[in-house]
Structure 1
Amino acid sequence: MTRLTRSESQALTRLRLLKSARELFRRDGYAITSLDRIAEAAGYSKGAVYSNFPGKEAIFLAVLEAETGENLRDLLARLEMASNLPEIVDILAEWADERSQFGGWSLTILEHARVARGKDSLRRQEEIVRGQWHKLGAWLLARFPEADAEPEVLGALLFEIAFAPALTFVAAPSAGDLVRLALPPLLTR
């Protein structure tokens, strides 16, 4: 078996820590998830966490950036395959319905915002979230330039529908229903 280089080993450790942190933050929330629990779930010591991240807020923000980035890349890849407005609306409605099943993640993001210790951490969280809003809105406006909306506002609307915590425990309307209602009139002005 080939032995990993030091940098490969460090990258693997970081990846495992992020994976464990993602699962714990998603399942248990921000406050309950500790660095000890992340290290234990990944099979490392707390020192391994500190050699990769300065603290809990840093690992949370790394998870948030990875989670939202992957989510948006997958969505945009699906959207690229659509050829018209009804197909785009259907893809976004399906995405919203899928995302609304993960209400715990949106609550974790809100929980972090409530208990974050520093303004830099909150600013970074806002940058990550707003960046995702902007990318989704910009993609839609590139396809529908006649729409009268700012990219960030359009993306924010869709993310807020998809990740609304209340939609995780009500039968109707679904997040997809709300996307189908709100999106077509915005894009076809």
Structure 2
Amino acid sequence: MPQLPDPLSRRDRQRQTREALIFAARAVFSRDGYHRANLEVIAREAGFSKGAVYSNFENKAALFLAVQDTNMEAALAEAWDPFERVEEMPQAVPGGVSEEDLTAAMTGFALATLEFIAVAARDETLRAEMASRMQRLLDAYTEVVRQQRVEGDPMSVEELGALSAALDQGAGLLLLSGTGAVDARLLRAGVRRLIDPARAAESGSDDADVGPGMHDQEVRARIAAELRDQQS
């Protein structure tokens, strides 16, 4: 007689429930926006009752922050090198997910994030929560600068990291506003020039256009996998 697997512990069940709610919330926030997103809808799409949401998250803002944390963990999971030549954006998952659906999901969540930022800016507690996450993002850019910068640059690594982050995040805002004036090729060239102008001139800017943002590939992969699961 085959041995049955050990039952899940209470902690493991809670972790699985929390993850399912976060994945469902990302889809609903992307589709409906932050303000229109409904916790009951999120719970239903995750396969739970609304009570499961409040057992894991204090409110909608806390759930949105949890989605942000999950995205950030994915985006920062792999170190990146702005001087590494990128040929093309790798396929996120094989089959079943169109580029249009993936772009719409990522754009939708970016727009929901703008809504949330406007809410957080007027709330002292949420503003502090957002500030801590932005600092984590700045630290990631600063670490890239620390590894790549040229010796003797009068700017500190923190200043160059902040400017690199501003370029990357600002390019995303321009894209959301409807202009593609700063594509991925130009963005990478700009970050290279900030970090090491001489090396940037030597390497040129002949990357293929790999899409907006410099930390998006892991997030794209996760969202594509979720879209594939929803369609199956």
Compute the TM-score of the two structures, normalised by the length of structure 2: 0.64
- TM-fit CA distance, 1:43: 0.7
More off after superposition, 8-17 vs 104-113? 104-113
For residues 46 and 132 of structure 1, the distance between their equivalents in structure 2, rounded to whole angstroms, comes to 32
For residues 111 and 103 of structure 1, the distance between their equivalents in structure 2, rounded to whole angstroms, comes to 13
Q: Which residue of 2 aligns with 1:52?
A: 56
The unaligned stretches of length 5 or more in structure 1 are: 80-84
Secondary structure of the residue that 1:19 maps to in structure 2?
Answer: helix
What letter corresponds to residue 47 of structure 2 in structure 1? G
Q: Which residue of 2 aligns with 1:82?
A: none
Q: Which residue of 1 aligns with 2:166?
A: 157
- TM-fit CA distance, 1:16: 0.5
Task: Give aligned pairs, total.
Answer: 174
- TM-fit CA distance, 1:183: 2.0
Which is greater in Rg?
A: 2
Whether the aligned pair in 2 keeps the contact of 1:106 and 1:165 (CA below 8 Å) is no
Whether the aligned pair in 2 keeps the contact of 1:161 and 1:178 (CA below 8 Å) is no
Secondary structure of the residue that 2:34 maps to in structure 1?
Answer: coil
Counterpart selection for 1:177 from 156, 181, 185 = 185
Aligned ranges for residues 3-82 of structure 1 at < 5 Å? Answer: 3-74=7-78, 76=79, 78-79=80-81
Q: Deviations over 1:29-60 (max 9, x none)?
A: 21111211110110101100000011111111
Whether the aligned pair in 1 keeps the contact of 2:21 and 2:53 (CA below 8 Å) is yes
- TM-fit CA distance, 1:28: 2.3
Counterpart selection for 1:108 from 112, 115, 139 = 112
For residues 61 and 176 of structure 2, the distance between their equivalents in structure 1, rounded to whole angstroms, comes to 27
Counterpart selection for 2:129 from 99, 124, 132 = 124
Secondary structure of the residue that 2:19 maps to in structure 1?
Answer: helix
Q: Deviations over 1:14-35 (max 9, x none)?
A: 1111111112122322111121
User: Quick one: percent identity of the two aligned structures?
Assistant: 30
The unaligned stretches of length 5 or more in structure 2 are: 91-98, 198-232
Secondary structure of the residue that 2:21 maps to in structure 1?
Answer: helix
